[in-house]
Amino acid sequence: MLSNSTILITGGTGSFGNTFVRMTLEKYNPKKIIIFSRDEMKQWEMAKKFKGDERVRFYIGDVRDRERLYRALDTVDYVVHAAATKIVPTSEYHPFECVKTNIHGAMNLIDACIDKAVKGVVALSTDKASSPINLYGATKLVSDKLFIAGNCGSEEHGTKFSIVRYGNVMGSRGSVIPFFMSIKDTGAVPITDPRMTRFMISLEDGVRLVWHAFEDMVGGEIYVKKIPSMKVADLARVVAPEAKQQIIGIRAGEKLHEQMISSEDACYTYEYAEYFKILPMINNWASCPKRIKDGKKVSQGFVYTSDSNPVWMTDDDLQEWIASNREKIGSI
């Protein structure tokens, strides 16, 4: 599907974008991948990694700017929407800016993709959009709803919209693993709560889930990858075994455990070998055989949370992952 196509990724200079571009160039050999973002310095740094590859193009722009999106989407076949204001404390203290990017930006992209007859759009979501308690999660819930509803107005243009949702991305810029690694020699690492758990997914698995969404989607699905959980205190112990753990308390807007599927979503959720799929509650799409395919309905009241997850990452699993990825942890 993605072979010999033109793909645009918003927010493409982030950790996900760097990994998506590298892996997609290798697997699908697209005609062109356009990195659409507003940070010229990150684009300059990323361009050095792909120097000489004429398939990689860069486009300065902001999802808040409708006209710029329309120009950037000329001849584009597929879009990955990774642009977001996503740091929880930043969103709490600067809510207007978070709304402008995560909600208004989503609306701009949806309209532009429909009008430009883009074939498929996959938007990146977050565990924080499920039963949100912070502004970032609330804006991403709205964004998810917008992309789902976008399928209602795109029939004549043929544009399909779907969503992928996952939790903590291992080793990404600003995430907990590189943070603990950067301070482990200070003798102490901060732990918000010793009970806290998080889902753990690699950037590579995140990219593969996006690929699968493009191949599988009819429109409106939320794909949730099955991934292991780990206690943050255990993660800190593996990364910084000599450091003392200082309990500092949960920060504003932070959850004790991550949730990706709520009990309210259970009646629309189907299980597959490697993922779950939350189907849209509108237009009877949740009972659509083309969307369900070979899925099995989850039980009533089912939830998918990091503390009740049946699959857990062991110390050995994490140590092996760190050993294999040490050079790139926190660098993209």
Structural contact between residues 60 and 25, judged by C-beta atoms closer than 8 angstroms: no
Helices 232-239, 315-325: axis angle to 10 degrees equals: 50
Q: 9-24: buried (b, 16+ CB within 10 Å) or exposed (e) per residue?
A: bbbbbbbbbbbbbbbb
Q: Beta 259-261 vs 304-305: how paired, if at all?
A: antiparallel
Asked if 128 is an active-site residue, the reply is yes
Catalytic residue among 86, 128, 160, 225: 128
CB within 8 Å of 15: residues ≥ 6 apart: 169, 171, 172, 173, 203, 332
User: Which residues are 78's β-sheet partners?
Assistant: 7, 120
Structural contact between residues 175 and 181, judged by C-beta atoms closer than 8 angstroms: no
Which residue's entry shows tokens 């191949």?
Answer: 215
What's the CA gap between 192 and 189, in Å, rounded? 10
Residues acting as catalytic residues: 128
